[in-house]
């Protein structure tokens, strides 16, 4: 992995990259990423808050990287250097995976790599990205967008979501969950940026209200779960339950449960030899066909292909 840094870089975004990719998680003994930091501004780089970092590499190592990370672009009104554009275009042409965090999407856009694609960036700059690059379908709601070879993430904390998604792609959901525990972060956050745009943080009493029912839902994924049933558990009307659930999680009960069921299916595919039919039953999908449809839509591959890729790499005790 080559991470491109420059003057004015966000310490948070760079910190997430280093925390997740620079060293393997505790108790993991297999091969991990090799992260190289590459500067476009010489060996001495000033961060957003005025810290000075020593970056030993120029853009040279990017030419051999399997994954290229653009952590952010500090000034979205500043032209992207031609050298960086050429470097990104060359990486894309040879098949490297490209990942941008926050305003790093502007660098990929300037290189023409997001044309005709769906992409995201921090909500505060999404309108500017769409205006400057009308060929891009800018999704201002998404925490991150996985468009195959190119992945783009929203602002700041969404860097954690995208980094964990990359780990999940490469090492499986079980490993991403393991890394998330050490980060003390959710392995997957449902909902999008809408829950963070000029909206107050959900009141503590909302969290207290929903916490028990969320735990109960996870324990009963194999059962049919209706809004009426869930609302009754917390003694509110279905309409009130839906409103409070949306405010606290940023998504609907249906989509929240669907994600939890898919995550449970990933774990069972990685850790057990249960059939797809049995896993569908255990996760509440009702049929193997339903599991396959939702699994492919969310994970991007078929359950058995996912098992073939990740069951061995996840067999260690974490």
In whole angstroms, what is the distance from residue 217 CA to residue 68 CA? 38
To the nearest whole percent, how much of the chain has pLDDT over 90?
56
10 Å CB burial of residue 124 (0-12, 13-18, 19+) is: middle
Tokens of 191: 């909902």
**Between 185 and 10, whose confidence is greater?**
10
Residue with tokens 């190289």: 36
| Contact indicator for 57, 39 with CB cutoff of 8 Å | yes
**Between 204 and 129, whose confidence is greater?**
129
Identify the helix (H) or strand (E) that includes residue 70: strand 67-70
Tokens of 280: 């569908």
- Closest-CA residue to 17 (of 69, 94, 76): 69
Pick the CATH number of 255-310 from 3.20.20.70, 1.20.1640.10, 1.10.10.60, 1.10.1740.10: 1.10.10.60
φ/ψ bin of 191: left (φ > 0), alpha (ψ from -120 to 50), beta (otherwise): left
CATH of domain 2-183: 3.40.50.880
Tokens of 182: 């050490």
Q: What is the pLDDT of residue 312?
A: 55
Is the pLDDT at 144 greater than 80, yes or no?
yes
Is the pLDDT at 17 greater than 90, yes or no?
yes
* From 51-60, 100-109, 197-206, the region with the lowest mean pLDDT: 197-206
């Amino acid at each position: 992995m080559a991470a491109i840094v420059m003057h004015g870089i966000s310490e948070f975004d760079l910190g997430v990259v280093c925390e997740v990719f620079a060293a393997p998680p505790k108790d993991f003994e297999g091969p991990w990423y090799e992260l190289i930091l590459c500067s476009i501004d010489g060996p001495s780089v000033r961060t957003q808050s005025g810290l000075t970092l020593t970056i030993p590499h120029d853009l040279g190592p990017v030419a051999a990287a399997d994954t290229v990370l653009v952590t952010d672009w500090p000034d979205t009104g500043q032209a992207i250097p031609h050298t960086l554009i050429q470097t990104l275009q060359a990486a894309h042409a040879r098949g490297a995976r490209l990942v941008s965090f926050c305003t790093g999407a502007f660098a990929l856009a300037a290189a023409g790599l997001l044309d005709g694609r769906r992409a995201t960036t921090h909500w505060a700059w999404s309108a500017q990205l769409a205006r400057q690059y009308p060929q891009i379908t800018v999704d201002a709601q998404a925490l991150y967008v996985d468009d195959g070879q190119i992945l783009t993430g929203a602002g700041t904390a969404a860097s954690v979501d995208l980094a964990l998604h990359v780990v999940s792609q490469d090492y499986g959901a079980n490993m991403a969950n393991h890394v998330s525990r050490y980060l003390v972060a959710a392995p997957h956050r449902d909902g999008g940026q809408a829950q963070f745009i000029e909206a107050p943080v959900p009141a503590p009493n909302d969290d207290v209200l929903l916490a028990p029912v969320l735990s109960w839902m996870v324990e009963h994924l194999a059962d049919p779960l209706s809004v009426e049933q869930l609302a009754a558990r917390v003694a509110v009307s279905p309409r009130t339950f839906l409103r409070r659930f949306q405010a606290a999680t940023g998504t609907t009960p249906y989509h929240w449960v669907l994600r939890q069921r898919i995550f449970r299916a990933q774990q069972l595919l990685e850790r057990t030899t249960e059939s797809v039919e049995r896993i569908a039953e255990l996760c509440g999908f009702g049929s193997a066909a339903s599991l396959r449809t939702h699994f492919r839509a969310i994970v991007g591959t078929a359950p058995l292909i996912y098992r073939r890729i990740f069951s061995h790499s996840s067999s260690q005790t974490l």
